[in-house]
Amino acid sequence: MKNQHEHHTMGGHKMPAGKHVAHNDDVMDHSKIKHGSNAHMGMSEHDHHAVMIADFKKRFYVVLALTIPVMMLSMQIQQWLHLDINFSGSSYLLFALASVVFVYGGWPFLSGWMSEMKAKNPGMMTLIGFAITVAYAYSAATVFGLKGMDFFWELATLILIMLLGHWIEMRSVMGASNELELLVQLMPADAHMVMGDQIHDVKTDTLKEKDVILIKPGEKVAADGIILEGESYLNESMLTGESKSVQKVKGDKVIAGSINGNGSFKVTVSHAAKDSYLSQVVKLVDDAQKSKSQTQLLADTAAKWLTVIALVTGIGTFLYWYLTGQTLAFAMERMVTVIVICCPHALGLAVPLVVAKSTALSAKHGLLIKNRTAFENSRKITTIVFDKTGTLTVGKFEVSKIVLLDKGVDEKELIRLASALEQNSEHPIATGILQKVKDLKITIPKAENFKAITGQGVEATVAGKKIRVVSPGYLKEHKFTMPDGFTANDSETVVFVLIYNKLAGYIALSDKIRPESAEAIKTLKDENIKSILLTGDNNKVAASVSKTLGMDSFIAEVLPHQKLEKIKELQGKGEFVAMTGDGVNDAPALAQADIGIAVGSGSDIAAETAGIVLVNSNPKDIASLILFGKATYRKMVQNLAWATGYNVIALPLAAGVLYNQGIVLSPAAGAVLMTVSTVVVAINASLLKVKV
């Protein structure tokens, strides 16, 4: 029987942590986040974004103030408005104001261009930097003698709209990063450390294994550990997605970052803050946000090509109009508009924004994504293979009935004697019997001369009596007559208690089916996904569980090493298989499956072979995961379709294909369109939700 808190020890298929598509100051790079208890102290990713947003905001308002006089002094605007603001040196004043707009307002784009050139990775900043430099250089030349009309006002409005677009975009990106930052900030900075009779406040990141800390009512738990004394109800929803408060008593595990209710208790710290469950989650989310899936790589490639297309089309547009007799100013304006409109901004953000949002949202709902490709591929699943114990069932054997066969023994005595033999065992049956004894407040007697009967039970001497706790197989082998009226229930496991070789009674235990299992299987059916039960249990138990839940089929009496073969068989039939498991013996099957989902790992999230880890053992989470995977992929496709579709329509208009029909886009109109396309992508990503 599997222990559901065992580590998966096999090496996993971990995605390399890459960086998102390069754009201003690595907007999507989360590498600066600090993990652990002091994560929100110092310059975190959140602070970094806040500083950048403030910078864009300030530049926007300065440029806005300067753009008004620039427009008033421009000949083109004066002609449109029938104004005449002309005085000695007005053109030089216009040049001076536009120069400030170009240098101060354009600086983020010019410095970004230099960085991209240094990295030999031309992208969005290269396009904007090139466009504004060409517009500025040409306009400046007209002030000092070149024949033609300047377009300083177009330059100013172009930079103004670009700054606004970046400001809005960075706020959207920060929204996606905030989800992760909220996880980071769950860890309290200080802890109340118990030293003898004294309590000292210490920094959480100084805590180490075996330290004892006090958690007061309403506080956040400062470290993972075991309750040493006291009890309370804890809210773990931000960590596990489980909305109801959980009662915790002496001996129970607690997770750092969970919120205490009205009780107070002492905790023995299990490990340092950097190894806590929360720190592992933050690192996992961070890695997943930075890892690149196939969809992301596709978007990156498209953005690179778009940069090349923009430059080639821009120069081609300039040459075409100039060589067909248009003015230098007109040809320049067309080139600048094409390059601006072609910025692969929306395309570059289409996937990263969805990635950041979906990964952090998943973590808040207890779905931890380790491998982005596995998560995105969840939409392809045709068959889910479920391990039974701890996934579809509660994973805990509970005593369902005690039947007496000897009048000289009562129920309490029978279970008391059985518990003496089971007290040293880790077996789920033993755990179930011991829990019943605890519930009945029975003192467990001492067992002597303890001996295991291989595969069939245990024996020992308790209070001078020779006691055996054995399986039905033992009775058959030793020619015992089965008691009258005994029928083995498909979903029950029975152990018989023998006193001095005489049947005294039997204890039936059952592993209850989770109430959420049937709903999860129904959801999968609605999505046309087959569900198969794979278990080491006998055929009768497997058939009963499978039928009760309405599953498509079951594979029973499978040994751990055979699970891998069964997954291969399904894949051989062309199925796209997801495997859910919770124990170390599921690791090879999890690795073989197209998508490995580790279930019920609780605070052990180092399930290396699984691409996805579900914190709770709730099978509904598996259905939620698949639905969320599909929703996430839809958002990515929508964003990519919008980002490319917009360029397909806007680029020819910018180049002037409808010039003869009187339709022509100015650089400022191009900038507006580009900004709108980016904002649409950002808003669409922010609408992503987890259905639970």
Give catalytic residue positions: 387
Are 494 and 506 in contact, with CB atoms under 8 Å apart? Answer: yes
Q: Residue 125: helix, strand or coil by DSSP?
A: helix
CB neighbourhood size of 83 (10 A): 12
Print burial letters for 191-207: b (CB count within 10 Å at least 16), e (below 16): bbbbeeeeeeebbbbeb
Q: Residue 353: helix, strand or coil by DSSP?
A: helix
Are 680 and 650 in contact, with CB atoms under 8 Å apart? Answer: no
Print burial letters for 240-257: b (CB count within 10 Å at least 16), e (below 16): bbbeebbebeeeeebbbb
Residues in the chain: 692
In the block, which residue shows the tokens 């890459």? 18
215, 233, 235: which is closest to 223 by C-alpha? 215
For 20, 297, 355, 681, the CA distances from 303, given in Å and listed in that order, are 12, 10, 17, 15
Cα(514)–Cα(446) distance, rounded to whole angstroms?
Answer: 35
N- to C-terminal Cα distance for the chain? 30
For 401, 414, 472, 485, 540, the CA distances from 489, given in Å and listed in that order, are 11, 21, 12, 12, 9
* Burial of 481 (C-beta count, 10 Å sphere; 0-12/13-18/19+): exposed
Tokens read off for 244: 């109801």
Cα(397)–Cα(298) distance, rounded to whole angstroms?
Answer: 49
Alpha-helix residue ranges (DSSP H) falling in 401-512: 411-422, 428-439, 472-477
